[in-house]
Chains A and B, each alone.
Chain A
Amino acid sequence: MNVKILLFIILVAVSAGLVAAAAVISPAQLPYPIKITIFVIGLLMDIFAIFLKDYSEFMIGILGQRSKNVVVSSEAPYVFSSARDALVVKSGDGYNATIYVKIPIYRSSTEMKIEERVDFARMVGRMVGQSRNVARYTTGMFVMNKDMYIQQLRESINAAENEESSAVTSGQSSEELARIRGKLSMWRNILDSVNSNVSYEQISYASVTAFGTNEFEAVSIAQQHGRELISGIGTLFGVQPAVITGSELLRFIEPEYQLPYSTMAENISKSVEEEVI
């Protein structure tokens, strides 16, 4: 039997016993203040039992820590498999491994005929229903990662600034100084235009999880399920889905990779500057 259910039944049974005992025992044997205390404890246990059923993780944390900031879990939510192609999570006596498969479909309804649109909608329905295993199909908008580009632009601006200061100190000609300042202005304008808009891209992917008694088994089963998904999606849409590996996987699970740090930080500081101005 599920531990939560067992705990719930034990708590309810004890609370029923306490409530009934407190009420039945005569005041001669047990004074009223003690009787009412036991009665109330019984009822509180009943309330606790119903809380514990669905919120055991929260309640255990609340009871164990006398703080308003309760740590339900301080462990990393996942680890990468050794080949970095799956996320591994400890689950009871075993492990869950999750594989992500990228679905490269780049078709727009504007370039489809009416029958093609109906077919496409049906194919999406068929794709969702293809797997007997529990699978997740996701499509979403992601911020394009301009971090590397922004970093390069910043380095170019720094280099141009250094060039300008050394040109000033070494007394270079006004034409040379104008050329360096023009270059600096160009890099700054490019950085401004890159930051003025956040660019988005649509990505679709599927994910599937498998359980195994050890990490290796879980990953192997998940890879097998992943291959089934790849073959099904590939046949339906005539595309070549691929397992997502390494740091690319982080885009789908970590918020700072979905909204890249430098891209967003530049964008936020630009908005703040505009507000101040």
Chain B
Amino acid sequence: MFDPEKLMFIIIAFLVVIIGFAFGSSFKGIYYPIAMLFVLIAAIFVLVMGFADTIFFPLLMSAIGMRFQIADGYWMSREQNSVIKNVNGLYYATGYISANLFQYTFKLEMPLEEEESKMEQAPSNWERAVATLRFPWKYNVISAGLDVQDIRSELEGKRSFQEFQLARLMQSSNPSATAMQDIQREINIIQTKMDRISGGEKPIATLMYIETTSVGVSEKAAADSLNNQASSISTALGGFDVQLDRIKGRELLALFKSNFAIPQSIGELNDTFDKMA
């Protein structure tokens, strides 16, 4: 789901583009196409930075050849997909991969028997994956408990809305079976969440990622080895039905910093990470 706050920033920045487009016609002759060209460039930058900044910014900086020192002794690679440290001539490259396993073990529509079966297989699947990876890596789960009452009230509100939608659809002259099924499915998901909370489970927000480190005699050797390790992790965890993406740019910097101080609230986590939250 797209973050509404982020959307607001894009709209505000895009207003300037609209103003430029509206007033640009006041330029005459050769100045008109120049004005429109810059309006177009601004529109592209605003949209790309708004919707795909974690891809675009590293690409742009890599193309320019920019390299960033993010702390004493630590550099970001030019591709901004790893943190490099040089210790007495050996280069250490650390990369991060998003890996949200939540869907795997806590699928909300999953029947109880299926969930039990997945739970039963989870430890052995995990051990099999661990055994195949012959390099250092860490699986991290950042979690925070949410307020039970708040979440319950929110879910009740959502369920009432879906029930109202269903009732309205049923009263219509020609109710669509597919639409009714979709709403019923939504209601079931919400009900499952509510049942879990009633059963004593605490609602939590989680963010999961993998960190892996490689070593090489040059920065390139370390980075190449890190890329191989990232591919191996993708293969090994394939059985968990989890989407794995390399973290780049500002999210990489945030995860590097989180090694030393974890963000303090869910809001801060959500603001920092687009891919994993």
Q: Which residues of A contact B (CB under 8 A)?
A: 8-9, 12, 15-16, 19-20, 22-24, 27, 32, 35-36, 39-40, 42-44, 46-47, 49-51, 53-55, 57-58, 61-62, 68-78, 87, 89, 91, 96, 98, 108-110, 112, 114, 117-118, 120-122, 125, 128-143, 198, 200, 202, 207-209, 211, 252-256, 258-259, 261, 264-265, 268, 272
Contact B27 A70 (CB under 8 A): no
A35: chain B residues at CB < 8 Å are 27, 31
Task: Kindly list chain A residues whose C-beta atoms are within 8 Å of the C-beta of B13.
Answer: 12, 46, 49-50
B67 CB-CB contact with A under 8 Å: yes
For the complex formed, measure the closest distance between the CB of A244 and the CB atoms of chain B, giving whole angstroms: 14
Check B138 against A264 for contact (C-beta < 8 Å): no
**Are A50 and B50 closer than 8 Å at their CB atoms?**
yes
Taken together as a complex, chains A and B put the C-alpha atoms of A47 and B39 apart, in Å, by 10
The answer to whether B257 touches A77, judged by C-beta atoms less than 8 angstroms apart, is yes
The answer to whether B263 touches A71 (Cβ under 8 A) is: no
Contact A134 B42 (CB under 8 A): no
The answer to whether B227 has its CB under 8 Å from any CB of chain A is no
Q: Which residues of B contact A53 (CB under 8 A)?
A: 9
**Neighbouring A residues of B46 by C-beta, 8 Å:** 46-47, 50
- B60 — nearest CB in chain A belongs to which residue? A51
Residue ranges of B at the interface with A (Cβ–Cβ < 8 Å): 9-10, 12-13, 15-17, 19-20, 23-24, 26-29, 31, 34-35, 38-39, 41-42, 45-46, 49-50, 53, 57, 61, 64-72, 74, 85, 87-88, 90, 92, 94, 105-106, 116, 119-124, 126-127, 130, 133-145, 201-202, 204, 206, 211, 213-217, 249-250, 253, 256-266, 269
A77 to B12 alpha-carbon distance, docked (Å): 35
The docked-state distance in angstroms from the alpha carbon of A62 to that of B57 is 13
9 contacting pairs across A/B (C-beta < 8 A): A9-B12, A35-B31, A49-B13, A55-B53, A77-B259, A89-B261, A128-B143, A136-B141, A140-B139
With beta carbons under 8 angstroms apart, the residue of B49, B68, B204, B217 that contacts A70 is B68
Tell me if B143 and A135 are in contact (CB < 8 A).
Answer: yes
Q: Which 7 A-B pairs have the closest CB atoms?
A: A23-B23, A140-B138, A109-B123, A255-B92, A96-B261, A132-B145, A77-B71
